[in-house]
Amino acid sequence: MKENIPLTMKDIARELGISVATVSRALKNSPRISEERRLLIQQYAREHNFTPNVLAESLRHSRVQPMKVIGVIIPEFAHYYFSTILHGIEEEASARGYRIMVAQSGEHYEREVQLCQSFFENKVCGIIVSQAKDTQKYDHFQRLIDAGVPLVFYDRICTGVNASRVVVDDYMGAFNAVTHLFDTGCRRIAFFGSRMNLEIAKNRFNGYKDALLKHGLPFLPEFTRICDNRRDAEMMTPELFNGDRYPDAFFAVNDDTALGILYTAKRMGLRVPEDISICGFTNDVHAVASDPMLTTVEQYGMKVGEEAADILISHVEGAIPITRAEKRIVRTRLIIRGTTR
């Protein structure tokens, strides 16, 4: 057998010179197969890492028509942006006769590895995934590709694996946001972002830095923090006001962080946007529920999901060769509201 190619019952039958039905019965411990032959078949299956097609088996015993199923891994169900992407994936998949099987990594590498293996064992026709924050090894993704499983990344992509991907234009989204802050009179612009192992974090940080350079503003390391959630933002924001020089604006990697900055600034007695301006990145439902409403970058999660599903299905159906990594970019849009001047 070729390395990394999933073994089937047909392969076992061919190698042992028996029928597929005999293999199936032996793996189910059927008394119709002699113990000697049953043990021989089971041992061969174990030695060659055979995994049963759980999904296909359940569908064979179902009265419904077998469905084409796509595996989807999201980092967090509760995150607004990922939920909009999931909506887009489901809409596109359903319109084209596919169903989705969804699971959450919880931002954990080990869970992500388990989910990839589980989807593989269930013989999904392909997998759409946004990698977890702490994922820094990519062997589990490469194994899927080597086994011929179509794989599409969205939002958080893995540059170490040659696979299809859909991203938003993170760089220009950040660049335009910081340019808006400059155009409205801000000159000391702080940055709260994610760890740099994520490609989106690098792109948004580079957009921030290049916008500063473009407009002749200095990059101040003391005005940057690894901070991508509300809790940390509430803890770290006061730190930037302890010295003689403090920010007059914040650009945050997501809305959750931006709202943490807003809440803390108001608690400190700062006026928004008169004393400091704040811009986020996502445009989630809380952006219009804050006071003042949040200026932010719209990511169009629904469109990201639709594009990811379209690429995956195109790989499955042969419209895009599985060996070709399709790359698509969804444009962003700055939405100006009350937290900027």
CB 309 within 8 A of CB 89: yes
Please give the Cα distance from 169 to 216 (Å, whole number). Answer: 23
User: What pLDDT is attached to residue 298?
Assistant: 98
Q: What CA–CA distance (Å, rounded) separates 40 from 132?
A: 41
Which residue has better confidence, 13 or 163?
163
Checking if the pLDDT of 4 tops 80, the result is no
Q: Which residues contact 61 (CB under 8 A, 6 or more apart)?
A: none
pLDDT in tens, 129-178: 999 998 989 999 999 999 999 999 999 998 889 999 999 999 999 999 99
Measure the N-to-C terminal CA separation of the chain; round to a whole number of Å. 65
Look at the block and give the residue holding tokens 């808006």: 180
Helices (H), 72-189: 80-95, 109-121, 139-146, 170-183
Q: Which residue has the higher pLDDT, 30 or 176?
A: 176
